[in-house]
């Protein structure tokens, strides 16, 4: 038995080198086919194939092609061995007409070319009424890098078992799906359809005239007890793409509408030295992506320290248009009294409706900065030498300011020391309470995000890490329902606002600010404890 098996193996080994391809054929499973309907091309070689495969690259010029799958089989009948290798791929034509699938070559053998007929779809056919696609492109005339919204709606009038909707294609363009598809129902000509909607962002990268090929649907439906293949395809779009004008200078911003607005907190024309101001700039543009929005350059102003705060970019779709926003916040800290004019800000953009360069502008703004009444600077007493006196006079005559002026200065100084003592006392009591009962604040209900942010703030303060401390403050602001730290900061006490402004200075200013992170943490913890205690007092009893 062993001898016979060994002999068979030796026979197989000796026979293998004589196998060779003796025939190559190509065939399709459908002919004719409909526009947008997938069909299968099979190339088959009889005989041994050693790592070879047919070149199918020429097919992509006429058809939409899928990857090639390879399979092989070997059979022995009455001691005679045969081998077959097959290559299969899915093809689809977007246009009607007569096409020729070329011949293929493997190991010196060639297949015969195939004449294929592609038929146009009958718009009134029952199949077209059961499943069809509608598309819309807004706007349909574009400039280079201008973003258009391509909306695809697949209407299904029958129960779908499975299906595949391909992506649109366009030469020299970036195409990306926006979000996930949505499903809804519509009534068309008295018939109820399930509608699958997808939105695509189309951005051409070169000028010229291009064809936007729409998605193609292929799937299977149940009709009675049978599974039936169905397909649908929409009409293609001819898109004209205009070039960037030679006269345009600056960051290229093609849009139908651009707006630049600002918000001030506090929104006052007169402020006090040391009072932090938050300036929030919002740049909104239609028909471009959020990545295309340029950074807004805010000029420095003598007498102010400017600290960049948060920057946020958003993108959405409304009424068939892409809308993008850039929200940039800056903290301004006035240093010296006076009247200051903040210069205007201009952002150039190209109006694609009137083909003209325009500017989104913020006008200049005048701000008056007053001295802080709590920072009293006492004028030194004037010393005047008396005339030459007799030898018996030992001391010079000292002439001081009037009595009422001296009394006012000393009153201001005393009030300043009283305020300073009260602040120090509150801080000391808060700190001692935190040391004695560190877990007391955790006993009240709070969201996990708030607790995590305060814990992160404490850890950053203990390790003297300003960057992590600022990130913890932003997390705490979000946990309390604020999108930006500047909106949350203006709900805090004046003392906390100043400490946060110092932290921003330590992070962003060329001249480093001195900030005590432990004081900042204690103030935040004290305020958080007060808010929770107030909530506990207003809770109604539970029954």
Neighbours of 297 (CB within 10 A): 8
Neighbours of 454 (CB within 10 A): 21
Q: In whole angstroms, what is the distance from residue 301 CA to residue 80 CA?
A: 93
Report how many domains make up the chain: 4
DSSP category for residue 112: P
Whether residue 285 is contained in a domain is answered as: yes
DSSP assignment of 165-211 equals EPPPB-TTEEEEE-S--EEEEEEETTEEEEEEEEEEEEEE-S-EEEE
Q: In whole angstroms, what is the distance from residue 204 CA to residue 239 CA?
A: 9
- Which position has the token pair 């970036």? 174
Same domain for 158 and 212, yes or no, is yes
Whether residue 400 is contained in a domain is answered as: no
Q: Residue 539 in 3-state DSSP? A: coil
Instruction: Indicate if the pLDDT at residue 179 is higher than 50.
Output: yes
Whether residue 264 is contained in a domain is answered as: yes
Same domain for 170 and 132, yes or no, is yes
* Chain segment 26-41, per-residue pLDDT in tens: 999 888 888 878 889 9
Q: Which of 119, 135, 154 is the last residue of a domain?
A: 119
Whether residue 478 is contained in a domain is answered as: yes
* Chain segment 342-401, per-residue pLDDT in tens: 999 999 999 999 999 999 999 999 999 998 877 654 444 343 443 444 333 434 333 334
* pLDDT for 419: 52
DSSP category for residue 343: P
* pLDDT for 126: 57
Mean pLDDT of the 422-434 span: 46
* Chain segment 266-319, per-residue pLDDT in tens: 888 898 888 888 899 999 999 889 999 998 888 888 888 888 877 889 998 888
DSSP category for residue 37: -
Whether residue 383 is contained in a domain is answered as: no
Whether residue 421 is contained in a domain is answered as: no
Q: In whole angstroms, what is the distance from residue 398 CA to residue 536 CA?
A: 62
* Chain segment 87-141, per-residue pLDDT in tens: 898 888 878 889 999 999 888 888 899 999 988 876 545 556 788 899 999 888 8
Please report, for the domain that includes residue 314, its CATH number.
2.60.40
- Which position has the token pair 């086919």? 33
Whether residue 426 is contained in a domain is answered as: no
Instruction: Indicate if the pLDDT at residue 246 is higher than 60.
Output: yes
* pLDDT for 143: 93
State the residue range of the domain holding 346: 255-370
SS3 content of the chain, % helix, strand, coil (to 5): 25, 40, 35
Same domain for 195 and 142, yes or no, is yes
Instruction: Indicate if the pLDDT at residue 20 is higher than 90.
Output: no
Whether residue 197 is contained in a domain is answered as: yes
Q: In whole angstroms, what is the distance from residue 456 CA to residue 397 CA?
A: 63
* Chain segment 47-64, per-residue pLDDT in tens: 777 777 888 888 888 888
Instruction: Indicate if the pLDDT at residue 540 is higher than 60.
Output: no
**Chain mean pLDDT for the chain:** 77
Same domain for 269 and 344, yes or no, is yes
Mean pLDDT of the 471-498 span: 77
Same domain for 267 and 360, yes or no, is yes
CA distances from 1 to 6, 7, 163, 452 (A): 9, 10, 54, 76
Same domain for 115 and 39, yes or no, is yes
């Amino acid at each position: 038995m062993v001898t016979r098996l060994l002999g068979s193996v030796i026979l197989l080994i000796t026979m293998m080198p004589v196998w060779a391809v003796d025939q190559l054929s190509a065939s399709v499973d459908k002919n004719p086919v409909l526009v947008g309907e997938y069909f299968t091309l099979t190339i088959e070689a009889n005989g041994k194939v050693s790592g070879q495969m047919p070149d199918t690259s020429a097919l992509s010029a006429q058809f939409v092609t899928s990857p090639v799958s390879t399979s092989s089989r070997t059979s022995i009948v009455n001691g005679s061995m045969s081998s077959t290798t097959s290559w299969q791929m899915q093809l689809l034509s977007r246009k009607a007409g007569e096409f020729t699938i070329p011949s293929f070559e493997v190991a010196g053998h060639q297949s015969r070319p195939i004449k294929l007929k592609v038929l146009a779809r009958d718009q009134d056919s029952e199949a077209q009424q059961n499943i069809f696609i509608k598309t819309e492109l807004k706007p349909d005339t574009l400039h280079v890098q201008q973003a258009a919204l391509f909306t695809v709606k697949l209407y299904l009038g029958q129960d779908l078992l499975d299906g595949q909707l391909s992506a649109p294609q366009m030469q020299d363009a970036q195409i990306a799906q926006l979000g996930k598809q949505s499903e809804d129902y519509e009534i068309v000509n008295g018939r109820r359809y399930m509608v699958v909607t997808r939105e695509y962002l189309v951005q051409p990268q070169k000028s010229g005239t291009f064809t936007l090929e729409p998605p193609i649907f292929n799937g299977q439906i149940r009709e009675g007890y049978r599974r039936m293949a169905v397909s649908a395809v929409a009409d293609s779009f001819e898109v004209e793409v205009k070039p960037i004008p030679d006269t345009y200078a600056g960051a290229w911003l093609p849009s139908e509408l651009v707006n630049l607005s600002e918000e001030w907190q506090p929104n006052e024309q007169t402020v006090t030295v040391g009072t932090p101001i938050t300036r929030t700039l919002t740049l909104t543009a239609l028909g471009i992506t959020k990545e295309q929005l340029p950074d807004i350059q805010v000029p420095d102003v003598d007498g102010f320290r400017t600290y960049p705060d948060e920057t946020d970019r958003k993108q959405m779709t409304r009424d068939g248009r892409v809308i993008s926003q850039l929200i940039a916040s800056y903290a301004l800290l006035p240093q010296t009294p006076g009247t200051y004019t903040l210069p205007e800000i201009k952002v150039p953009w190209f109006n694609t409706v009137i083909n003209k360069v325009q500017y989104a502008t913020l006008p200049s703004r005048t701000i008056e900065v007053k001295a802080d009444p709590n920072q009293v600077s006492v004028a030194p007493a004037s010393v005047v030498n008396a005339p030459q006196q007799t030898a018996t006079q030992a001391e010079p005559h000292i002439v001081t300011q009037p009595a009422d002026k001296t009394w006012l200065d000393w009153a201001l100084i005393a009030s300043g020391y009283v305020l300073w003592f009260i602040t120090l006392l509150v801080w000391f009591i808060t700190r001692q309470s935190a040391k004695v009962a560190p877990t007391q604040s955790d006993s009240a209900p709070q969201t996990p995000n708030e607790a995590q942010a305060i814990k992160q703030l404490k850890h950053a303060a203990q390790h003297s890490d300003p960057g992590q401390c600022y990130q913890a403050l932003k997390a705490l602001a979000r946990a309390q329902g604020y999108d930006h730290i500047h909106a949350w900061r203006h709900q805090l006490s004046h003392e906390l606002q100043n400490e946060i402004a110092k932290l921003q200075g330590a992070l962003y200013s060329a001249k480093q600010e001195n900030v005590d992170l432990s004081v900042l943490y204690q103030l935040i913890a004290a305020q958080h404890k007060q808010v929770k205690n107030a909530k506990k007092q207003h809770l109604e009893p539970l029954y």
